[in-house]
Amino acid sequence: MRRFIRAVLVFIVVAGAPLSAQQVAPAWLLVARADRLMESSEIGLAIRTLRQALELEPNSPEANFALGRAYAATGIPGDIAVAHEYFSRALEHRDRFTVPDSAILVRYARSDLYRLTRDFAQYEQELLRILNEAPLPGDVLLPANPGRQIAAQGLDRTMILYRANEDGATDARGRLAALFVGLGRYEDAAAAAAIAVVQGVTTLVDGVLARDPLFEYSTFEALLDHARRYAETRRYIEQTTLFRDLYYLAAAWLGSGERAAVALWQRIAAIPEAGTFATRASVQAREPQPEPLLVPLP
């Protein structure tokens, strides 16, 4: 009987406790739930869930980042400013990220907002911040002017001589290359695209070497043929931004008067995995034209 009375008393205490004390999950779990909701396009419910997470942990960078992504996904123009605010809050508390490199993902997300609103000055600055936060290691050997080096010596000779591993800033370099082409800053575009290309090709070479230690780089096409044999490198070819970077390297060359542009476009056009960039390269190879400018030149 005493055990029964004690059990009843415990039940009364628990039942009388606030609902939040009984049922509210920790903030990190709410963020995980919200991520799944966003994957299911349940944006409104995800936002409500993330607001609960912020009530529990107001300075959570993960919750602020996720809430920014949720507002950015609504498609409502006014929510862009709200998304920007949450991204900025996430960066204010970046030292609290469970995974430190997550801060770069926030910067990429914020750069997407600037591109969407055509704030190209802020877009450039955000991408440059990514480069500053993920600089190339000091021992990486690259030519002083990689864009001109590849134009003069060719992609294959350059890749025999130089290597640079991909990092968190590789995509930012490719985005900067596309931006600079659109702004008519062709030298800057070629430099950014060339480094991104070297990094992408290096990743592909390393992936092939992991499966075939006797592989030696000779041509880009031979590398692709070899990479298609293995699931990991084949998947990389299908997902990489390397073909975008090659395309804008050629576009930068055309803008600065380099004759190598058409030959590179011809090579891209022959790569099925290059997708839309193969189509665009095919058009450019037949009738080269400067890429449209994002803003009129002064």
Could you give the percent of the chain with pLDDT greater than 90?
84
- 173 and 49 belong to one structural domain: no
- 152 and 96 belong to one structural domain: no
- 165 and 262 belong to one structural domain: yes
Residues 25-49: what's their mean pLDDT? 92
- pLDDT tens figures, 146-184: 999 999 999 999 999 999 999 999 999 999 999 999 999
**Is residue 133 domain-resident?**
no
Say if CB 84 and CB 117 are below 8 A apart: no
Q: Looking at residue 298, what is its pLDDT?
A: 66
The range of the structural domain enclosing residue 252 comes to 146-286
Could you give the percent of the chain with pLDDT greater than 70?
91
Residues 230-252: what's their mean pLDDT? 98
Q: Looking at residue 71, what is its pLDDT?
A: 97
pLDDT band, residue 260 (cuts 50/70/90): very high
pLDDT band, residue 209 (cuts 50/70/90): very high
**Is residue 68 domain-resident?**
yes
Q: First and final CA of the chain: distance in angstroms?
A: 90
∠ CA(182), CA(199), CA(267), 5° rounding?
65
pLDDT band, residue 13 (cuts 50/70/90): very low
pLDDT band, residue 75 (cuts 50/70/90): confident
Q: Looking at residue 10, what is its pLDDT?
A: 36
- 183 and 280 belong to one structural domain: yes
- 261 and 161 belong to one structural domain: yes
Name the token pair of 262. 């058409």
Whether 144 has a pLDDT exceeding 90, the answer reads no
Whether 133 has a pLDDT exceeding 50, the answer reads yes
- 165 and 110 belong to one structural domain: no
The CA-atom distances, in angstroms, between 112 and each of 71, 74, 99, 155, 233 are 13, 14, 21, 30, 28
